Structure 1
Amino acid sequence: MMVRSKILVTGIGGQVGFELVRSMQGLGDIIALDRSAMELSDADSVRRVLREVAPDIIVNPAAYTAVDRAETEPELAERINVVAPRVMAEEAQRAGALLIHYSTDYVFDGVKSQPYQEDDETNPQNVYGRTKRDGERAIAATGCAHLIFRTSWVYGGRGRNFMLTMLKLASEREQLRVVADQIGAPTWSGTIAALTASVVAQGVGRGRDWWRDRSGIYNLTASGSTSWAGFADAIFELAQLKNRPVVMPIPSSAYPTPARRPANSTLSHEKLARVFGLQPPAWRDALRLCLAV
């Protein structure tokens, strides 16, 4: 009889963590933790919990994601996005566990005209992107079996995200000014969770060497791309709002933010397809599903 894997999922109060718990049911025994159970800014707390639970798979969607606030809280962002993942990786290496971690398109500077490959040079333009890049490097340096999924423009039906903000503003305004010169792939948290579960399902029962052979970074976003203005338009269209605001496209220079964003952050899925045989859904199709939930 095969022993069921013990799967620890962090950050279940967040968009991706919530969806992961739902998508990974049946793949093992799920231990779902929120911030009260594991404080990511406290390395000792992270290490203690991991040793108490002794999971076979650690899935870590939890992160410091306040992109603009990170510019004034770099130390906190580093503790959560670099130190905590490093501790998880050290514990995974010690126990022979698999670590699944999530990173971001913001590790790139956005000057490339084509979708970014996993091995393209990183050049983050803000504190958040730098800490996520450094977290990737810290994990790899431990030598643990790991999968790092870079995603982008994450949204869903809970938490704080662009889709929910647009739907709220739609009830308050007739016109919205939205940035149109940043291009990326809006990615539903449900898509991230479903693809993660598909990958885990492939490796269940295959042992640590199977994961080690596939360790590394993978781009995991919806297919296709759009601008923030295009995303807003699609949200209003697919939500079938009675009173649909007019979206006025503006340049980034008209909406300055503390943290600089990449102009192009689309990511290639060639590696995900080659190694795991997975093709993410088109971003509009995923958005339609999210709005129907």
Structure 2
Amino acid sequence: MTSFTLGDIPDMTGRTVVVTGANSGIGRATAAALAERGARVVLAVRDERKGRAAAAAMAGHTEVRRLDLADLASVRAFARDFTDPLDLLVNNAGVTVPSLARTADGFERQFGTNHLGHFALTNLLLPRLRGRVVTVSSLAHLMGSIDFADLNWHRRGYRAYPAYAQSKLANLLFADELSRRLAAAASPVVSTAAHPGIAATNLVNEAGGRTLRFRLEKALMGAVAHSARAGALPTLCAAVAEVPSGGYIGPRRLMGMRGAPAPARRAASARDADTARRLWRVSEELTGTAFPL
């Protein structure tokens, strides 16, 4: 893969894009870049006021629609009201929380938002999708594991980082299984994944951690992090470049922490097709949504 830059984004005129979590960080940078190249970009955000402020700072055609991935009723409402053909869905939004919190449907908040919300949204929008789904994971997936006996942390003592890592591993397993299902259905839709490396966004700050580990990790971020604009490049590459279905893109330097986009390393657990199929079945049960093709 040659080095991908913002200049490699093709003319997106006439294409409709949905970016979740587009009011800040990687999502905002992604949305802005695509709108600048002519796409009609829908900022799917929990806070519409923040979404409108972000959209006002972008060039091009942007819209703001409310989407709370921590509430399946909101996900269903968004999908029901979105009736136009869709060329690109970027599953970007993510949360990390320092203490146990639950979604409106009772799921552990990181798993429920980062994975289950996007799982439901994608399945509900697939009948209108004609291009590509990009799911944003994280280097944290390398430390993740899927505990099917306690996905939502009802039995275990809650630990924020392992819960986050589980949700990011689930993102990759979902993207791969979606790719397999699309191929089996002879669908033209492509499923790819990306991670931003270590980017200077507000995600860690929102966690509000006060532990020594948090302070050390924040110091590390300050030393190696690249900008949200640079962190969005792997997502944009996975969205518009010649990346095959099932491809995974991340920064190429410093063990994936920063640098130009390139094929990224994924944990063996992220390549386990049996686990991916099992997670898909469980996710269908938990969300009441299914692959529609």
Taking structure 1 as the reference length, what is the TM-score of the superposition?
A: 0.54
Q: Which residue of 2 aligns with 1:88?
A: 121
Distance 1:4 1:79 in 2: 33
Which stretch has the larger CA shift, 81-90 or 101-110? 101-110
Q: Which residue of 2 aligns with 1:126?
A: 162
Q: In 2 relative to 1, CA 81–91 (structure 1 residues): closer, same or farther, beyond 3 Å? A: same
Deviation at 1:84, TM superposition (A): 1.0
Deviation at 1:129, TM superposition (A): 0.5
Q: Which residue of 2 aligns with 1:215?
A: 245
What SS does the aligned partner of 2:253 have?
A: coil
Distance 1:217 1:198 in 2: 11
CA RMSD of aligned residues (A): 3.8
1:18 equivalent in alignment to 2:51: no
Q: Give the counterpart letter for 1:84 in structure 2.
A: G
Larger radius of gyration: 1
Q: In 2 relative to 1, CA 267–12 (structure 1 residues): closer, same or farther, beyond 3 Å? A: closer
Deviation at 1:154, TM superposition (A): 2.2
Distance 2:248 2:140 in 1: 14
Contact 1:59–1:99 (CA<8 Å) still a contact in 2? yes
Q: Which residue of 2 aligns with 1:42?
A: 71
Contact 1:81–1:135 (CA<8 Å) still a contact in 2? yes
Distance 2:238 2:230 in 1: 12
Q: In 2 relative to 1, CA 216–267 (structure 1 residues): closer, same or farther, beyond 3 Å? A: farther
Q: Give the counterpart letter for 1:78 in structure 2.
A: F
Distance 1:178 1:48 in 2: 41
Deviation at 1:200, TM superposition (A): 3.6
Deviation at 1:267, TM superposition (A): 8.8
Q: Give the counterpart letter for 1:132 in structure 2.
A: K
Q: Which residue of 1 aligns with 2:231?
A: 192
1:62 equivalent in alignment to 2:73: no
Q: Which residue of 2 aligns with 1:246?
A: none
User: Any stretches of 5+ residues in structure 2 without a counterpart?
Assistant: 1-11, 48-65, 145-159, 183-189, 209-214, 265-293
Contact 1:38–1:45 (CA<8 Å) still a contact in 2? yes
Q: Which residue of 2 aligns with 1:138?
A: 174
Residue correspondences, number: 194
Deviation at 1:179, TM superposition (A): 5.9
Contact 1:191–1:222 (CA<8 Å) still a contact in 2? no
Alignment map for 1:217-232 (pairs within 5 Å): 217-221=247-251, 223-224=253-254
Contact 1:42–1:84 (CA<8 Å) still a contact in 2? yes
Deviation digits for residues 198-245 of structure 1 (CA, Å, limit 9, x no counterpart): 454446xxxxxxx7xx122424136226xxxxxxxxxxxxxxxxxxxx
What SS does the aligned partner of 1:56 have?
A: strand
Q: In 2 relative to 1, CA 198–125 (structure 1 residues): closer, same or farther, beyond 3 Å? A: closer
Deviation at 1:51, TM superposition (A): 3.8
Which stretch has the larger CA shift, 55-64 or 72-81? 72-81
Percent of matched pairs sharing the same residue:
15
Distance 1:89 1:7 in 2: 13
Taking structure 2 as the reference length, what is the TM-score of the superposition?
A: 0.54
What SS does the aligned partner of 1:93 have?
A: helix
Deviation at 1:26, TM superposition (A): 1.8
Q: 1:101 aligns with which of 113, 135, 143?
A: 135
Distance 1:79 1:192 in 2: 24
Which stretch has the larger CA shift, 182-191 or 91-100? 182-191
Deviation at 1:85, TM superposition (A): 1.5
What SS does the aligned partner of 1:63 have?
A: coil
Distance 2:227 2:247 in 1: 20
Which stretch has the larger CA shift, 141-150 or 184-193? 184-193
Deviation at 1:196, TM superposition (A): 3.3
Q: In 2 relative to 1, CA 8–105 (structure 1 residues): closer, same or farther, beyond 3 Å? A: same
